Amino acid sequence: MRHLLSTSDLTYTQAIRILDTAQEMARISEGPVKKLPTLRGRTIVNLFFEDSTRTRISFEAAAKRLSADVINFSAKGSSASKGESLKDTAQTLQAMGADAVILRHSASGAAQRLANSHWTSGSVINAGDGTHEHPTQALLDAFTIRQHLRVGTGDLRGLTIAIVGDILHSRVARSDVHLLSLLGAQVILVAPPTLLPIGTSTWPVQMSYDFDSVLPLVDAVMMLRVQQERMSDFFFPTAREYSHYYGLNADRLKKMKPTAIIMHPGPMNRGLEITAECADSARSVILEQVTNGVSVRMAVLYLLLAGAPNEDGEITK
């Protein structure tokens, strides 16, 4: 593995290896000394053309725990706001000797473009590209589900997971669909028809417009953020109507299996897609997702950067 661009590029073995490696990284994150010398002397650039809090901080924490040097670049306050292109920015960073570039960009396919180009020789990690993919978020979701419902080993066979809300604009949903089904889980997309993208018939998923009928079936429910910045086209009449049909509230919580967990990639719109009561309930693993994000990103950085490059980029024992 040289880049991490999309969960649909991952093989089953690679996905399990990332989760197993993250398991070991999580142990270190719980220990008294949260620092490893593993990536000492490597430079990692956080190249963020779009706003982000948790993903950027999470990658930064992961890189620092592995002793890599981190350079943070955000488009605001940089030459990108003067109109510098992705190419010129990437080449500048290459000239500074970046071993990996973590890219968030508003254009779908930006990470792929950077990886295929000769603008940078380092590994490219996609931290969200437009409405396409956000692979490390899906990996931390899978990791969190595995911790809770599969005692931290193996895959997710036999589990049913609902992804609810704005599927249309969600890169998290796309990455999750590929990864969770690769790991053997059954994914059900729940959304109003206006928020389901065209072409989902080729995805390995079931679909429903009726949240209440899906609730008793699922082992985990993943609420997506209503992306108000992308809601200019009136996808639903009112926020209140959306909450009524697709929001997670106390009544819906009661319809779920007693073991089922509540997830959200953050940031949450409390009161819109999820009530505070649900977000703060004992069944909610939302903060654990944030903690696990660091472990999963440590695993990805380790697997992409630690070894000497060999022909097929595969792991040896």
Partner 1 sequence: MSVALPAVDIARALTRIAHEILERNGGPDSIVLMGIPTRGAFLASRLAALIAGIEGREVPVGTLDITLHRDDLRLRPLRALVPTMTPLGGIEGRNVVLVDDVLFSGRTIRAALDALGEMGRPKTVQLAALVDRGHRELPIRADYVGKNLPTSKGQAVKVHLSEIDGVDEVLVENVEV
Binding site for partner 1 (CB under 8 A): 17, 20-21, 23-24, 27-28, 31-33, 35-38, 66, 302-303, 306-308, 310, 314-317
Of 52, 47, 126, give the one whose Cα is nearest residue 88. Answer: 47
CB-wise, 221 or 303, nearer to partner 1?
A: 303
**Nearest distance from residue 295's CB to partner 1, in Å?**
12
**Least Å from the CB of residue 20 to partner 1:** 7
Nearest to partner 1 of 35, 244 (CB atom):
35
Least distance from partner 1 to the Cβ atom of residue 69, Å: 15
How near is the Cβ of 157 to partner 1 at its closest, in Å?
A: 22
3-state SS, residue 267: coil
Nearest partner of 146 among 159, 136, 133, judged by Cα: 159
Cross-strand pairs, 47 = 73, 103
| Cβ-Cβ contacts under 8 Å for 43 (sequence gap 6 or more) | 68, 69, 70, 71, 96, 97, 98, 99, 100
Burial (CB < 10 A; 0-12, 13-18, 19+), residue 67, is: middle
Q: Least separation, in Å, of the C-beta of 311 and partner 1? A: 9
Q: How far is CA 174 from CA 178, 189, 218, in A?
A: 7, 11, 19
Nearer to partner 1, 23 or 131 (CB): 23
Q: Minimum CB separation from partner 1 for residue 74, in Å?
A: 30
What the block records as the tokens of 92 is 């500048």
Outline where DSSP puts E strands in 18-139: 43-48, 69-74, 100-105, 123-129
Sign of CA dihedral 72, 103, 270, 257: negative
C-beta of 35 vs 157, nearer to partner 1:
35
Closer residue to partner 1 in complex, CB, 250/306: 306
Cβ neighbours of residue 81 closer than 8 Å, sequence gap 6 or more: 75
Nearer residue to partner 1 within complex by CB, 38 or 291 = 38
DSSP 8-state class, residue 49: S
- Least distance in angstroms from the C-beta of 1 to partner 1: 9
**Which of 49, 302 has the CB closer to partner 1?**
302
Q: Output the DSSP codes for 144-160.
A: HHHHHHSTTSS--TT-E
Torsion angle, CA of 173/178/183/188, rounded to 10 degrees? Answer: 50
Could you tell me the two tokens for 106?
Answer: 């508003």
Residue placing its CB nearer to partner 1 in the complex, 66 or 220? 66
For residue 147 the two structure tokens come to 């911790």
CB of 292 to partner 1, least distance (A): 16
